[in-house]
Structure 1
Amino acid sequence: MQCMLAHNKRRMNFQTDCAQLVKMVSKPAEWPVFAILLEEVEKCRRMFQAFSLTHIPRKKNTKADKLARSARDQPHDVYYINSVPPVSLLEAI
């Protein structure tokens, strides 16, 4: 979220394969253990003109799952913000 805001992207639909994360963000009061983190998420969320967070099962997004797995196998941190993955990540698929 912070990265998108830093790139002046104010209308975002974030998708995750973590159903629990969607529940946490939509009903933070039910997750008191994560209150500090969820407050930070809410601060960022208010900076967007349009914001949504939706669950997408891994089985329905195999390309993203493969990209995530290949990124974890890299010996260094991978930061990727674009609609076209870099060649190094494409080769892993």
Structure 2
Amino acid sequence: MWAESQTKDPPNTGSLQNVDHLIIGDKSRCYIDGAWRAQDLCTGQGWFYEAGGSTDTMMGAMSIRKSLSPLHAECEALIWAMECMKILRISEVVFATECSQLVKMVSTPTEWPSFTTHMEEFLRCKEFFHPFTIQHIPRAQNTLADKLVRGARNQPAAMVYVDSIPPRWLLDHEST
């Protein structure tokens, strides 16, 4: 499943209620990513928000206990990004992910019984967003969230970072 979720082709999910796979116009976007490796003790989660029609940005990175799988990490990253958007009172946003399996999962949450708890939490969060919109994007378009999540995963201890200014460890990594 993980290898399939990394493909660049958008999933063929047909007509879905409350899920729009097209970004139209100047909408705000929240790019999300989850980082999981078998040998790591922690999972990294990250998101990068850019307001449509402006230069305003926010970002978040978190390193927490290890998720069960790469797809669990992606799902948990989406839920955390949604919770952060709710706290920031940003309800009109397009979530963007390179994980096609995550798009399929949130489009048909009842078809993923091993993710029941995650999907219940997702559906609670989803109520804030009218309409809820998620889009599959190529990995090359998700570089900021990817850098945040990998940097968080590599931190020596559990951490949470949310700010409009990139964390120092991210800037140090970019200059090398």
Whether these two folds match at TM > 0.5 is yes
Give the number of equivalent residue pairs: 92
Give the letter for the 2:123 counterpart. E
Pick from 134, 142, 160: which aligns with 1:78? Answer: 160
Q: Structure 1 regions of 5+ residues with no counterpart?
A: none
Identical-pair percentage: 48
Deviations 1:3-46 (A, max 9, x none): 21122111121122221111100011221221222122111101
- Compared CA separation, residues 10 and 60, structure 1 to 2 (3 A): closer
Q: State the distance in 2 between where 1:23 and 1:5 align.
A: 23
Q: Structure 2 regions of 5+ residues with no counterpart?
A: 1-81
Q: State the distance in 2 between where 1:53 and 1:88 align.
A: 29
Q: RMSD of aligned C-alpha atoms?
A: 2.1
- Compared CA separation, residues 59 and 31, structure 1 to 2 (3 A): same
Q: CA deviation at 1:61?
A: 2.8
Give the letter for the 1:78 counterpart. V
Pick from 88, 109, 113: which aligns with 1:7? Answer: 88
1:88 maps to 169
1:17 and 2:98 aligned: yes
Please state whether the residue corresponding to 2:134 is helix, strand or coil: strand
2:135 maps to 54
Is 18-27 or 59-68 further displaced after alignment?
59-68
- The structure that is helix-richer by fraction is 1
Tell me the TM-score normalised to structure 2 length: 0.45
Q: State the distance in 1 between where 2:101 and 2:163 align.
A: 24
2:25 maps to none
